[in-house]
Chains A and B, each alone.
Chain A
């Protein structure tokens, strides 16, 4: 089942002579359990695509469907609820609140949604445990390394019953080993049943995805072929990577 579906989504900024087509006719479907990377150069529309997919911004044309519900036409309250309960965001710069511990940061979206504090923190702790961060639960952001902070941000994005994770250059500020563990976590969250979209210009990060969509001038121009099935992997005629 598709968690996220974009149908013919376009976004135009400005009017008349200053009009800019940020996105044109984007079709994208992200299934439960899958990780899709959107790759493209700066200015190709990656971040716009992500904010529209997360209902933070309205498309000029087209439909955004999250968990089967069309986002356009929802009331402000319904949209806010969708953002709190269903969608988790991860940004390049972590966005953790400095005055709260890791577990408080992770459980905050639940508390804002009206979940009692104890219950919210129990769920926050469960998310941290699942992502191997239980021992950092009581640390404040400035006591965590960059890699740990981003992993806490991912725990916050998937806490509770979230089904869609949207990440904008999630390891942009990290070295490659920490970047890899961030992608590993996002992949683990996908295996746990959510859908994720990661936008990046970094092919090493994108290569963790099941599918990579290439964006250029606001258009989805190409995408990778589906990965080989186990049968294909066992077939000697299918070429496999080999070290030189």
Chain B
């Protein structure tokens, strides 16, 4: 979460004083992403230095200054909103590695390993879901953030389900033994970069 762009977003609603920006920033993000609110004033200084925000009150300190967004700031905000974050390199996922390792080890029940992780994830999802149970009291930004987390966890559960199904099919198709399954794994590992 970028403080810089959050402040530009608040300024795009209209000119604001430094202390007001700090309050609004805290109110709009504090519940979901606890950030270092102390960085608000230094970030405002940098926005001014970079020509993304401006103020007429040259002498006043940041709290008392009235800031407004510049055209350059508007363009920067629009550009940032539409720039997808870098998702081209998949994160090295510990859970994926654990399941891959479990599927290779003859004395480990890989389905049991999968189930341990599945149960943990569903329990986490239950905790998140409980937070949005009371609809009358649900803050919209908070609900969106909770949904994002639920979808993320759900995608991991679905990957576990699909891994479960794929391993079973591979096991059933191999008329010999489960070692057949492990033979294809080095190739998968190389492709995922998991060998590094």
Contact = CB atoms under 8 A, between A and B. Distances in A.
B132 to A, nearest CB: 8
Given A214-B115, A243-B145, A207 B129 contact: yes
Contact of A203 (B33, B133, B153): B153
B63 interface: no
A206 B123 CA distance: 10
B164 A214 contact: no
Interface residues of A, number: 25
B122 A207 contact: yes
A209 B115 contact: no
B115 A204 contact: no
Contacts of A214: 115, 118-119
Contacts of A14: none
Contacts of B127: 227-228, 240-241
Contacts of A97: none
A190 to B, nearest CB: 11
B126 A227 contact: yes
A203 B115 contact: no
Contacts of B135: 184
A241 B133 contact: no
B51 interface: no
A207 B133 CA distance: 11
Contacts of A223: 119
B161 interface: yes
A243 B128 CA distance: 10
Interface string A18-61: 00000000000000000000010100000000000000000000
A41 B161 CA distance: 8
A201 B111 CA distance: 17
A224 B123 contact: yes
Interface in A174-229: 184, 187, 201-204, 206-209, 212, 214, 216, 221-225, 227-228
A102 B124 CA distance: 37
Contact of A209 (B121, B126, B149, B154): B126
Contact of B122 (A41, A184, A203, A228): A203
Nearest to A210: B126
Chain A CB within 10 Å, residue with most, of B129, B150, B151: B129
Nearest to B161: A41
B164 A41 contact: yes
A187 B153 contact: no
Interface in B88-118: 111, 115, 118
A171 to B, nearest CB: 14
A216 B154 CA distance: 19
B149 A204 contact: no
A224 B122 contact: yes
B125 interface: yes
Interface in B124-161: 124-131, 133, 135, 145, 149-151, 153-154, 157-158, 161
Contact of A241 (B124, B151, B157): B124
Contact of A204 (B124, B150, B165): B150
B2 to A, nearest CB: 14
Nearest to A203: B157
Contacts of A216: 111, 115
Please give me the 5 A-B residue pairs with the lowest Cβ-Cβ distance, nearest first. Answer: A207-B125, A203-B157, A207-B129, A207-B126, A241-B127
Given A184-B135, A201-B161, A224-B123, 11 more contacts: A41-B164, A206-B122, A207-B122, A207-B125, A207-B150, A208-B129, A212-B119, A214-B118, A240-B127, A241-B128, A243-B33
19 contacts: A39-B122, A184-B135, A203-B121, A203-B157, A204-B129, A204-B154, A206-B125, A207-B122, A207-B125, A207-B126, A207-B129, A212-B126, A216-B111, A222-B115, A222-B119, A241-B124, A241-B127, A243-B33, A243-B145
Interface of B: 32-33, 111, 115, 118-119, 121-131, 133, 135, 145, 149-151, 153-154, 157-158, 161, 164-165
